[in-house]
Structure 1
């Protein structure tokens, strides 16, 4: 009976993992955290994670690329980097992907500013509002100041 229960729970754990992964990519850390309450043991959880990696269902690289693609239209490099670091990803993956993001940072910041505000202002309160908004989105102060002062307008 014990083996039967273990087989059922293992299938259930793998099924649960595949269900999560079918909705969107997850990092290993995030998936482990979600599956942990349902696992009988750490060994079972390790085995399931390993199987998912071996079959190509789970990939930190793919998760990172997917996350950046979905968030880069709204957020700056600092904010995205901060969230990704919480997923305990390999530093080389992070470094490579964040470096790619750095190249498009001024253009992405400008596009967000243009959608939200659209014009340079001399009004101190409005200028402060624009700066706060862009900095809170994770863009660097240097890039933000260039955009709100009209230096990066294209």
Structure 2
């Protein structure tokens, strides 16, 4: 029995069944399979019209999966890399900033759990939080204050 190649729609639906994708992500991933010009755009238009591609759900999915582990800057970069509208990214960043210190404190607590004993340990903790994308203000509040608000 011969294996038939997947259609563009089939490939797009397979990708969407795993997680939410933005239109730009799908274009990037499926362009190499497009056999005639405009076919991919037509498929993506149809999927968007049926609400299979939804930027709002993409943003919510990323926030849900990543907010507990990453800071605002890293999540902002991830959203921008997905090719989302700047307004949607800005709204998500605004929501994340409100909980930045609490999220940083929770990540810090899981990794370290105790205040630094010396400058080297303090630097290590601060670099760790910075690598996760947390802002300087949040890092200073968490590392210097430990569990205090």
Q: TM-score, normalised by structure 2?
A: 0.92
The one of 13, 16, 19 equivalent to 2:8 is 13
Q: Does 1:91 find its partner at 2:86?
A: yes
CA deviation after TM superposition for structure 1 residue 92, in Å: 1.2
Which of 66, 69, 74 does residue 74 from structure 1 map onto?
Answer: 69
Partner of 2:120: 125
Name the structure 1 match of 2:134: 139
Match of 1:22 in 2: 17
- Among residues 46, 57, 76, which one is paired with 1:62 in the alignment? 57
Q: Distance in 2 between matches of 1:100 and 1:86?
A: 19
TM-score (norm 1): 0.89
Which one has a larger percent helix, Structure 1 or Structure 2?
Answer: 1
8 Å CA contact 2:63–2:75 kept in 1: the answer is yes
- Are 2:115 and 2:146, in contact at CA under 8 Å, matched by a contact in 1? no
Query: Which ranges of structure 2 fall in alignment gaps of 5 or more residues?
Result: none
